Amino acid sequence: DGGITQSPKYLFRKEGQNVTLSCEQNLNHDAMYWYRQDPGQGLRLIYYSQIVNDFQKGDIAEGYSVSREKKESFPLTVTSAQKNPTAFYLCASTKLGTSKQETQYFGPGTRLLVL
């Protein structure tokens, strides 16, 4: 089946620890995105990438890092510099150069909790 997978579903972080959230897609999509969702809030963009080995900061990039070594994968690292990481994290992707390139499709999300 084609789709976007995120792992793990739940993740626990200790103080001072870096953790990495996985996002993989087999849709042959070009662009990938990371969003953060807090209770009572909409989604906010953390980072996005339109091409391998290139990515841009979104609105709330501080305390996060990403890499895009493969077209299918866009992992997000939550560093110890992120002081309030507890949130729900959603990955999305889209196929560029098509009539529906503006439409983003989402993975199932990862819930990150701080111990």
Partner 1 sequence: AQTVTQSQPEMSVQEAETVTLSCTYDTSESDYYLFWYKQPPSRQMILVIRQEAYKQQNATENRFSVNFQKAAKSFSLKISDSQLGDAAMYFCASLPRGSNYKLTFGKGTLLTVNP
Q: Which residues would be at the binding site for partner 1 (CB under 8 A)?
A: 31, 33, 40-45, 48, 50, 56, 58, 88, 90, 92, 94, 96, 100-109
Supply the minimum distance, in Å, between the C-beta of residue 43 and partner 1: 5
Q: How far is CA 14 from CA 1, 9, 18, 61, 84, in A?
A: 35, 17, 8, 20, 12
- Are 30 and 50 contacting, i.e. CB atoms less than 8 angstroms apart? yes
Decide if 76 contacts 89 (C-beta within 8 A).
Answer: yes
Shortest Å distance, C-beta 80 to partner 1: 26
Beta carbon nearer to partner 1, 71 or 80: 71
Q: Closest distance between partner 1 and the C-beta of residue 15, in Å?
A: 26
